[in-house]
Amino acid sequence: MNIVVLSRNSKLYSTRRLVEACEARGHTARVVNHVKCDILIERKNPQVIYNGQPLLEVDAIIPRIGASVTFYGTAVVRQFEMMKVFTTTESQALVRSRDKLRSLQILTRSGVGIPKTVFTNYSKDLGRVIDSVGGAPCIIKLLEGTQGLGVVLAETKKAAIAVCEAFNSLKARVIVQEFIQESRGQDVRAFVVDGRIVGAMKRTGKEGEFRSNLHRGGTAELIELSHEEEVTAIKAAKAIGLDVAGVDMLQSERGPLVIEVNSSPGLEGIERATGQDIAGEMVKFIERRV
């Protein structure tokens, strides 16, 4: 098969591993920078143009769309869908996953546990907002933040109000979430491919850091998920509509709580922690579907 990896950087670990996995299984792989694609919208002959040439005879695409280019990246994925090309991540699911508020609403409607969350339209009564998630400490998140950026732990109610006021003054949309004390700066990422768990790791934030993101200096180790965690991760990915997803969960006293469903999860941390060929599992998924 001819498989296109949509990525802005061919040297990234995840991109390289996907190309290697495609080639190892006898397929042709090509990295295409989606932000440099042109879209030709035509009823009978929709095309994606790259370096002045239409991308023809593409059997499948693997979107690796960064959060900063979600709008255009999604448009490119949607164009391939119009061309009847299989995609490991559908355009609508990608859009859902990038909207933190919408994804949390979808998860709760589907019966998936999440930390108690409040979103308001720049409310003046911030004290009540903070009380409604159990008071301080609490987590304040920018709706557009990624990789742990734009996430603040407010230790006191006064600090939480000050942070919310600062974000409000900048017209930045935020959500306020309860702080799960027992998670102790740790979370679990389950990697879901085609409705099953292909790898899982526990991430721990560096000393003094409540965020466990590997980009923030966190560490990862192999973990065996409980049955409830497996069911929650698979249910969360399905609710958002993602066939490939990194589901991040907190281990709480009331069970696993999903904090994010990532539509372009990195492969480096999960492959090194688990020793599993996650990229190969993604290619096998394409083989089953195409």
The model's pLDDT over 10-64, given as tens digits with 9 standing for 90+, comes to: 999 999 999 999 999 999 999 999 999 999 999 889 999 999 999 999 999 999 9
**Strands (DSSP E) found in 120-254:** 138-142, 151-154, 174-178, 186-193, 196-204, 219-222, 244-252
Does the structure show a pLDDT above 70 at 148? no
* E strand or H helix at 165: helix 157-169
Residue 113: pLDDT band by 50, 70, 90 thresholds?
A: very high
* 117-179, CATH topology level: Dna Ligase; domain 1 (3.30.1490)
Cα–Cα distance, 179 to 46 (Å, whole number): 48
CATH architecture of 184-289: 2-Layer Sandwich (3.30)
**What was the pLDDT predicted at 213?**
59
Tokens at 7, concatenated: 């990525």
**What was the pLDDT predicted at 177?**
94
Q: What are phi and psi of 209, to 5 degrees?
A: -115, 125
> What residue ranges do the domains of the chain occupy?
2-96, 117-179, 184-289
* Domain at 2-96, CATH class: alpha beta
Of all residues in the chain, what percent carry a pLDDT higher than 90?
81
Cα–Cα distance, 29 to 20 (Å, whole number): 8
Q: Of 239, 227, 264, 225, whose CA–CA distance to 94 is shortest?
A: 264
Residue 215: pLDDT band by 50, 70, 90 thresholds?
A: low
* E strand or H helix at 217: none
Least confident of 36-50, 163-177, 231-245: 163-177
